[in-house]
Amino acid sequence: MRIADILLTWYKECKRDLPWRKDKDPYKIWVSEVMLQQTRVEVVKSYFERWMERFPTLESLAGAREEEVIQYWQGLGYYSRARNLLEGVREVSVSYGGQVPETKEEVVKLAGVGDYTAGAILSIAYNKQEPAIDGNVLRVFSRLYCIDGDISSPVVKKQIRELVEREISFDYPGDFNQALMDLGATICIPKVPRCPICPLQKQCLGKEKGLQQQLPVKKKKTPPLPVRLVAGVLQQGEFFLLRQRPAKGLLAGMWEFPAVEIQAEEDAIAVFRQIFLCETGQEVELQSLLFKCTHTFSHRKWDISFYHCTGSPGNIPTGSRISWVNKRDWGKLSFAGPHRKMADFFVENRKKILQNR
Ligand code: SF4
């Protein structure tokens, strides 16, 4: 029996009940795949349902304001995914009359759509024979074919792609891809695969050789760089000094309390005061520590301390992205990760904070 036939039979009986599998709308598949890129299925389910209540169609998302879209994404992290999704659906709305295109060449040109997402959309929505290869599929195939090369190397990825292209079902490529996703997520899991209940155990070379737990082979990743930051919470009545991050790069376009990166050997207070003045035009003194947290990105780990600051108001430099924002408008802003935690902390503990000043 072919691998595809075994997988499809297993999928029919055991497929996961997921909200984006209720129909084959390419827009819904697109949204779910983008949400799933860095987030666990269990978390995505509720976000996806809330999203579809607000943006049920591609056109409803294409016509939405970016700020609102980011708010619906808040909590999923990696906000560039939401911005790219919005850019992509707007492109489909303008250039393809609102219909997600059906060819790989066109789909991969849409903002934020890579090889994997294109494969998922085309195979599930349009029944095209396109593989959708993510980390799960790489793991399953490296075990199935006992491939011991580094899984992140282009040579091994190409080798696996060719194998998936050879095995993919002709009639049901979308179900084949989804079966592989489910197998990787529930049975051929990292560390200790559940081989005794795997439908492919008789076909699996890795298991036959007893190497399933050693595969896939991965080169060690460099750990995220620790970065120390001091952020200033400066208040005038109901207004707080906030900064909008640049339009490109980490947490692009999001709002934050002005923060300064501190090198290990530096005098944190002196450096903070000097850079804060330069960037915001405000001469400040650091008072009490309000809140402290860490936040890990793929390449950096922020250790950020928020201090209550006092000072006499100065002129904000022209052309800067600094503004005085009324606290009642915080709900409309997309705060950058740990800064949202600080804003929430402030709202929840306002009375206590004011008493301690
Ligand atoms: S037999 Fe084990 S290692 Fe092989 S595909 Fe199944 S779960 Fe993975």
The answer on 72 and 201 residing in a single domain is yes
Q: Decide whether any atom of ligand 1 lies within 6 Å of the 142 Cβ.
A: no
The answer on 139 and 267 residing in a single domain is no
pLDDT at 248: 84
Asked if residue 217 belongs to a domain, the reply is no
CATH of the domain at 13: 1.10.340.30
- Cβ–Cβ < 8 Å for 353, 290: yes
Give tens-digit pLDDT for 182-234: 999 999 999 999 999 999 999 999 999 999 999 999 888 788 999 999 999 99
- Cβ–Cβ < 8 Å for 6, 14: no
The answer on 40 and 83 residing in a single domain is yes
Asked if residue 263 belongs to a domain, the reply is yes
The answer on 139 and 204 residing in a single domain is yes
Domain-ending residue, one of 161, 181, 208: 208
CA-187 nearest atom, ligand 1: 7
The answer on 155 and 27 residing in a single domain is yes
DSSP summary character for residue 150: B
Strand runs (DSSP E) across the chain, as ranges?
225-236, 239-244, 255-256, 259-262, 283-296, 300-312, 322-326
Of all protein residues, the one whose alpha carbon is nearest to atom 8 of ligand 1 is: 188
CA distances from 46 to 1, 2, 16, 52, 121 (A): 38, 36, 15, 10, 21
CA–centroid distance, 35 to ligand 1, in Å, is 27
Asked if residue 220 belongs to a domain, the reply is no
Q: Decide whether any atom of ligand 1 lies within 6 Å of the 186 Cβ.
A: no
The answer on 329 and 200 residing in a single domain is no
Please name the residue that has the structure tokens 């922020």. Answer: 302
Catalytic residue among 33, 53, 68, 106: 33
How far apart (Å, rounded) are the C-alpha atoms in residues 335 and 345?
Answer: 13
Asked if residue 33 belongs to a domain, the reply is yes
Of all protein residues, the one whose alpha carbon is nearest to atom 1 of ligand 1 is: 201
Asked if residue 215 belongs to a domain, the reply is no
Any idea what the Cα angle at residue 62 is, between residues 58 and 66, rounded to 5°?
A: 130
CA–centroid distance, 279 to ligand 1, in Å, is 55
| Residue 87 annotated as catalytic | no
Instruction: Output the CA torsion 42→43→47→50 (10° steps).
Output: 50
Domain of 338? 225-356
- Cβ–Cβ < 8 Å for 224, 300: yes
Domain-ending residue, one of 145, 174, 208: 208
The answer on 255 and 118 residing in a single domain is no
Sequence-distant contacts of 50-56: CB under 8 A, at least 24 apart: 52/19, 52/28, 55/31
CATH of the domain at 243: 3.90.79.10
CA–centroid distance, 217 to ligand 1, in Å, is 15
DSSP summary character for residue 111: T
How far apart (Å, rounded) are the C-alpha atoms in residues 226 and 294?
Answer: 10
Q: Which of 159, 107, 112 is nearest to 133 (CA)?
A: 159
Q: Decide whether any atom of ligand 1 lies within 6 Å of the 168 Cβ.
A: no
Sequence-distant contacts of 207-210: CB under 8 A, at least 24 apart: 207/143, 208/146, 209/146
pLDDT at 357: 67
Domain-ending residue, one of 208, 236, 268: 208
Q: Which of 65, 102, 97 is nearest to 82 (CA)?
A: 65
The answer on 51 and 14 residing in a single domain is yes
CA–centroid distance, 203 to ligand 1, in Å, is 9
Phi, psi of 93, rounded to the nearest 5 degrees: -65, -45
Of all protein residues, the one whose alpha carbon is nearest to atom 4 of ligand 1 is: 204
How far apart (Å, rounded) are the C-alpha atoms in residues 292 and 230?
Answer: 9
pLDDT at 346: 87
Number of domains in the chain: 2
The answer on 326 and 200 residing in a single domain is no
Phi, psi of 199, rounded to the nearest 5 degrees: -70, -15
Asked if residue 244 belongs to a domain, the reply is yes
Which pLDDT tens digits describe the chain residue by residue (357 residues)?
Answer: 899 999 999 999 999 999 999 989 999 999 999 999 888 899 999 999 999 999 999 999 999 999 899 889 988 887 889 999 999 999 999 999 999 999 999 999 999 899 999 999 999 999 999 999 999 999 999 999 999 999 999 999 999 999 999 999 999 999 999 999 999 999 999 999 999 999 999 999 999 999 999 999 988 878 899 999 999 999 998 999 999 999 888 888 899 999 999 998 888 889 999 999 899 999 999 999 999 999 998 889 999 999 999 988 888 988 889 999 999 898 888 898 899 999 988 888 877 777 766
The answer on 261 and 182 residing in a single domain is no
Of all protein residues, the one whose alpha carbon is nearest to atom 2 of ligand 1 is: 195
pLDDT at 159: 97
If one residue of 204, 208, 209, 213 were mutated to test the ligand 1 pocket, choosing by the most ligand atoms within 8 A of its CB, it would be 204
Phi, psi of 329, rounded to the nearest 5 degrees: -95, 0
Asked if residue 145 belongs to a domain, the reply is yes
The answer on 14 and 132 residing in a single domain is yes
If one residue of 6, 148, 198, 203 were mutated to test the ligand 1 pocket, choosing by the most ligand atoms within 8 A of its CB, it would be 198
Asked if residue 216 belongs to a domain, the reply is no
Q: Is 260 helix (H, G, I), strand (E, B) or coil?
A: strand
The answer on 87 and 55 residing in a single domain is yes
